[in-house]
């Protein structure tokens, strides 16, 4: 402990100031202050969550009842995906995370990749 006689007074004053600031922040809406995002309007909210457009998503399968019965046993089921009346199908791309992938996506400064199966650690096998 410090032997300064003013240390207790300084700590009490700092605590009182912190309580006052917290109380003002808590009561800010009642005092007329509103939380803002720094005055910056990004605009993505309106585009992403546009409530004026209703989207329809239809998943079309040949055997829906068979899918429901065996969905825990199957890794995938063939289906057609239709969004807003436009047939999108279903696309899946699988690519190994190797040096060519890292160069193409992150450039030459891609850092170190932790990949247990490439380090002869078994990789869960």
Which pLDDT belongs to residue 83?
82
**pLDDT tens track for 102-114:** 787 788 877 776 6
Q: What percent of the chain has pLDDT over 70?
A: 70
d(CA 64, CA 100): 40
Say if residues 61 and 79 touch (Cβ distance below 8 Å).
yes
DSSP H helical segments within the chain, as ranges? 7-26, 44-48, 64-70, 99-106
pTM: 0.29
**pLDDT tens track for 27-41:** 888 887 776 656 666
- Residue whose C-alpha is closest to residue 60's, from 91, 90, 33: 90
Which pLDDT belongs to residue 1?
55
Say if residues 56 and 85 touch (Cβ distance below 8 Å).
yes
């Amino acid at each position: 402990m410090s032997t300064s006689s003013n240390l207790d007074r300084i700590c009490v004053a700092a605590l009182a100031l912190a309580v006052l600031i917290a109380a003002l922040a808590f009561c800010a809406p009642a005092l007329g202050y509103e939380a803002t995002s720094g005055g910056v309007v990004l605009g993505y909210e309106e585009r992403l969550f546009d409530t004026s457009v209703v989207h329809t998503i239809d998943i079309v399968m040949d055997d829906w009842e068979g899918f429901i019965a065996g969905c825990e046993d199957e890794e995938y089921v063939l289906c057609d995906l239709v969004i807003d009346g436009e047939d999108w199908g279903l696309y899946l791309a699988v690519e190994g995370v190797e040096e060519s992938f890292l160069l193409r996506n992150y450039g030459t400064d891609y850092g170190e990749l932790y990949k247990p199966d490439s380090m002869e650690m078994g990789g869960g096998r």
